[in-house]
């Protein structure tokens, strides 16, 4: 099977698998990450097939929708690629991307995997978590989990472990400080860093407007 056909087969598989998924983690999220991966990869020395497959399959079974089980996605991706007789080294690399792409994994110490392909896909995924799309996805997920928009009595936790992050039920605004505003400085590639700047600035502008509307007369919040 040629690379182009493999990508088309993978797109079809992802679309079918993610039918009915939460709006921030659906096919359109995957499509945006895939497109950003292609965009960033133009300026990087990467295996474009591995990067493309990693982008398309990185959220095939996000752990947050599978009771926190981080093994479901890698297993599903591996089985799918094996069914298409993809070379084992490609499968192994794609699985490693899926296992290590998440922001929450940066909150724990210990040995980790890296590759140029992972860095490109990770930047593409992080770009979709910030800016206008990132804001929309954040509030969509907060609504999905029935979380408060904002609660002045609950400050952001800036020192979370991976497990604390996974179990958090904090208001949606806190997520900006606990993750989204941190991503600009965690970008890996030159292109990713450049694209993140504008999106980061947009989030800061949004937050300024949000607080102005939340308390339009400037009365000090009571804890």
User: Can you tell me the distance from the alpha carbon of 154 to that of 150, in angstroms, rounded to the nearest whole number?
Assistant: 8
For 33, counting Cβ atoms within 10 Å of its Cβ (0-12 exposed, 13-18 middle, 19+ buried), the class is buried
183: Cα within 13 Å, side-chain hemisphere: 30
What pLDDT shows up at residue 201?
Answer: 98
| Residue 61 to residue 77: CA distance in whole angstroms | 9
pLDDT tens, 1-58?
799 999 999 999 999 999 988 888 899 999 999 999 999 999 999 999 999 999 999 9
Q: How far apart are CA 82 and CA 119, in angstroms?
A: 24
pTM: 0.90
**What mean pLDDT is predicted for residues 101-123?**
83
Give the residue with greater pLDDT, 96 vs 223.
96
- What single DSSP character describes residue 219? P
Of 198, 213, 220, which is closest to residue 131 (Cα–Cα)?
A: 198
Residue 163: the pLDDT is 78
């Amino acid at each position: 099977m040629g690379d182009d056909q493999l990508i088309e087969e993978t797109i079809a598989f992802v679309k079918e698998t993610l039918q009915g998924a939460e709006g921030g983690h659906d096919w359109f999220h995957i499509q945006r990450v895939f497109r950003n991966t292609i965009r960033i990869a133009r300026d990087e020395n990467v295996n474009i097939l591995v990067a493309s497959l990693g982008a398309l399959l990185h959220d095939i079974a996000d752990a947050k929708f599978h009771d926190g089980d981080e093994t479901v996605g890698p297993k599903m991706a591996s089985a799918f690629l094996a069914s298409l007789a993809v070379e084992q080294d490609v499968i192994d690399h794609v699985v490693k991307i899926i296992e290590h792409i998440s922001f929450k994994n940066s909150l724990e110490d210990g040995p980790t995997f890296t590759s140029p392909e992972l860095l490109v896909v990770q930047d593409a995924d992080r770009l979709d978590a910030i800016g206008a799309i990132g804001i929309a996805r954040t509030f969509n997920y907060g609504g999905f989990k029935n979380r408060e928009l904002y609660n002045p009595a609950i400050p952001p936790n800036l020192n979370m472990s991976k497990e604390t992050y996974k179990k958090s039920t904090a208001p949606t605004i806190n997520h900006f400080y606990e993750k989204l505003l941190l991503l600009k400085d965690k970008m890996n590639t030159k292109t990713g860093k450049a694209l993140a700047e504008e999106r980061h600035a947009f989030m800061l502008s949004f937050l300024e407007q949000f607080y102005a509307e939340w308390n339009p007369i400037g009365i000090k919040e009571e804890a």
